[in-house]
Structure 1
Amino acid sequence: MTGCRDTKAVETAGTGSTDPELSRVCLMIGQLGLGGAEKQIVILARGLVARGIETTLFLLSNRGPREEELAGSGVTIISLGYRGITRPWVDLRRALNDTAAGLRAFVRLVAHLRRARPQVLHAYLFHCYIAAAPAARLARVPVCVAGRRSLGTFKEGRRVQLAVERVATGMTHLVVANAHAVAEDAMRQEGLPRDKIAVIHNGMEERDFRAVSPAHLTTDLPVVLCVANLRTYKGHQYLLDAVSRLGQRKQPCTLVLIGEGPQRPDLEQQAERLGIDARFLGHRTDVAAFLARADVVVLPSLQEGLSNAVMEAMAAGRPVVATAVGGTPELLCDRGVLVPPADAEALAEGLHWMLTDHAASARLGKAAREWALEHLSADTMVERHVSLYRRLLERG
């Protein structure tokens, strides 16, 4: 098992004075799919409105299923209609080639900002904050904030992306990361000074902490649950190998995989070849019920920002085995089992421990839930954003 990561390199944004008055905020993201960043911006938008702050949410491209979560909330949703980006972070070449559509969306953004006259514009994810920064300048928005939600490995070796990002960052007042690991990565890769970045961890709503009825699952074996998109960087191939090794140790289990992605056919073939009981359930909206059914939750990622899946498992009081990448050690230090990435044997050892030592698994699950209740509530996350926005406004 691996040790905990030092998370003191960057200050966490805390609470401060309530002046000056904060009344209008605009948020911006690509779309409202089922990803973690989309979940967090929805929670933040609802929390701002609940505090009497007029909130507008700009969508660069598509709407999505999370739009339903904002119905009746008082959040104004405006789609900028840019269809050039289908996979944020990756299709920069396509975005650049689609210049006309991009310019139209940019002009709409500036026009909407001039009408809304927000005090703060906070943009999540790469394609949004590189558009938001110059738009905020043109519309004379007092404060522009850029959100970092993941490690910047997708930009490594891409000089154009890094150059564009540095120009945009120079126009913003602050960068907000959702984990210390993400902040440290931004400082290393982009050369950001420490006083231009703050950390606010993701938040979870009350419903994430409520007990629910376990999902029905036909099996007599212990259940290991993994909630993650089926993509190479999530490390499922090592997890399947680890589950096979558990069988060899006379500790078979049923592996439940929630998520969808391009690796599914290869992973299904691997599971069949290894002869393990792996259930591929695709996208689900009843994850909480499967968390209640699981004996152990696992995340084998090769890279990670701050995992909502791990946070939800912690809120449910489940023992978690995860790789020590990105912000995961910040969540699980002394509250879960951390193992090196791309190491099936270490993953198997961690799972074996949690499946056989029931006292240890109960202790870690309880500690994780208690820490999440104290540090990862939606109210805490929203209040820290409000305090941060006010401090930036106060600086002028």
Structure 2
Amino acid sequence: MTATPTILPRPIKPAGTRKRIMIICPSLGFGGAETQIIVTAKGLTARGHDVAIYLLSKEKDRVDEVRAAGVTLWEDSRNSRFDLPLLGRLRRAVHEWKPDLLHGYLFDGNLYARLAGLGNGIPVLSAERSSDYTLRRAQIAAHLATRWLSDAVVANSWAGAALARQMYPGLKNHIHVTWNGIDVREVQRRAAAATGMRATLGIPEQAKVACFVGTVKPEKDLLLAIETTRVLMQQKDTPWHVVFVGAPIYQFMSYASGGAAEVDSYAEQVEAAFATLPQQQNVHRLGNSKQVIELMAQSDVFFSTSSREGFPNVVLEAMTAGVPVVSTTYSDIQLILPLAWQVVAERNGQMMAAAILRAAEDRELAQIQKDWVSQHASIECAVDALEAVYELYIPKNTGLTA
């Protein structure tokens, strides 16, 4: 077993008090950060806090579940990476809603949150959701010009916190780690009810199924996932099918971003690599889906080939759904997966496939994983930790009394 870091304890606060938290983020698509925003907003709302989300772009896929949870939601429409009229609308929303704290997510959410809080006397928290990356030139300029407006940084991994200490040298004592959390009961409910994947995709009952979930972009390393698939296809004793869930990022981004040429070029490489696989009928590419949990739950193994990432929600969901997980090494993954062999140190398709085969035969791994998530990465754990951070920065005389 690997060691796990200490999670901040739940703060003790007077019964009946609640805070007003405004989260600012680019969108609410199918990414891990967006999923965590939704889950966290629901968790905070369930504890009696008032939560609002300000989207910089209109969203069509997931807003209903946010509103159904009682979360206030603004959907704006950004016309450029830095949209001054949008910033004006955001500042008006902050003035009218009067939050106790602003929490930005992702680079653009961080930037707009800082500028929205400028001169308002409202604490502003930036988020660090990844690690081992570099900003583009324009992003560096925007970050350096505004980072002083952040009161603190909330990272979702220890690796991300290490990066944040470099990016925010003036906030070294105000960088906090709060791991992601998931709704364990909801994931288990959905997993238990999942049926029909094999029949729909034409997968024989005797075949094994490996599932990969990830947007088609370089950091997910689809090329390694495809090479791993090629090795699995060579197994003589048991036929393997591989289900890929996720679309190229340009298919669902709502605004043009820098680096588009790199992403397009990578998507072309991925398409070419898929075309070289044998047994094409055993490869199932499903694009984005709202049924990720159900698809994983009906698989024998979930695998990740990311080269960098923050704290992977989809890994937690697979673990909670009772699906053995195998991953490459990145960020805090060695603290998350309970057994050392589940994390493959080398970026090698043969080694990934060998770990997948081992995971498929391990009869105890599923329960070990479930127990770990319940103890360390439930939504209750995540909200406990986040509440503790918020309490450090929200003035003590603010908050509403029920």
Same fold? TM cut 0.5: yes
Cα deviation 1:241-279 (Å, max 9, x = unaligned): 223223445254111111111656644543442304211
Q: Which amino acid aligns with 2:337?
A: L
Asked if the contact 2:30–2:288 (Cα under 8 Å) also holds between the matched residues in 1, the reply is no
Structure 1 152/169 Cα, relative in aligned 2: closer, same or farther at 3 Å?
farther
Q: 1:81–1:46: structure 2 CA closer, same or farther, 3 Å change rule? A: same
Where 1:71 maps in the other structure, the secondary structure is helix
Task: Please give the alpha-carbon distance, in whole angstroms, between the structure 1 residues aligned to 2:169 and 2:75.
Answer: 33
With 247-256 and 21-30 compared, the bigger mean Cα shift is at 247-256
1:336–1:15 distance in 2 versus 1, CA, 3 Å: farther
Cα offsets for 1:318-359 (capped at 9, x unmatched): 11110111232221142761013532222122123223xx2x
Which residue identity is paired with 1:65?
D
Q: Aligned AA for 2:278?
A: G
> Which residue of structure 2 lines up, in the alignment, with residue 259 of structure 1?
246
Match of 2:64 among 35, 45, 68: 68
Question: Larger deviation: 261-270 or 221-230?
Answer: 261-270
The 8 Å contact of residues 150 and 306 in structure 1, kept in 2 or not, is answered as: yes
TM-score, structure 2 as length reference: 0.84
Task: Look up the match of 2:163.
Answer: 185
d(CA) in 2 for partners of 1:61, 1:371: 36
Q: What corresponds to 1:378 in structure 2?
A: 379
Secondary structure in 1 matching 2:302 = strand
Matching residue within 15, 18, 22 for 2:13: 18
Distance 1:110 1:139, change over 3 A: farther
Q: Are the counterparts in 1 of residues 104 and 126 from structure 2 also a CA contact under 8 Å?
A: yes
Residue of structure 2 equivalent to 1:48: 44
Cα distance in 2 for partners of 1:215, 1:192 equals 53
Give the distance between the partners of 2:76 and 2:246, measured in 1 at CA: 28
TM-score (norm. length: structure 1): 0.85
Q: Distance in 2 between matches of 1:326 and 1:60?
A: 28
Q: Are the aligned partners of 2:338 and 2:372 in contact in 1 as well (CA < 8 Å)?
A: no
Counterpart Cα distance in 2 of 1:323 and 1:191: 30
Is 2:290 aligned against 1:285?
Answer: yes
| 1:111 match | 92
Amino acid at match of 1:161: Q
Conserved in 1, the CA contact under 8 Å of 2:341 and 2:355?
Answer: no
Aligned residues between the structures:
369
User: What is the identity percentage for the equivalent residue pairs of Structure 1 and Structure 2?
Assistant: 25
Instruction: Determine whether 1:362 maps to 2:348.
Output: no
In structure 2, the CA distance between the partners of 1:215 and 1:234, relative to structure 1 (3 Å rule), is farther
Cα distance in 2 for residues equivalent to 1:282 and 1:204: 23
RMSD: 2.5
Assess if the C-alpha contact under 8 Å between 2:152 and 2:174 holds in 1.
yes
Give the SS at the match of 2:68. Answer: coil
Query: Of residues 112, 129, 141 in structure 2, which corresponds to 1:149?
Result: 129
> What is the alpha-carbon distance in structure 1 between the residues aligned to residue 351 and residue 11 of structure 2?
43
1:198 corresponds to 2:183:
no
- In structure 2, runs of 5+ residues without a counterpart are 249-263, 398-402
- In the alignment, structure 1 segments of 5+ residues that lack a partner are 85-94, 97-101
1:324 partnered with 2:314: no
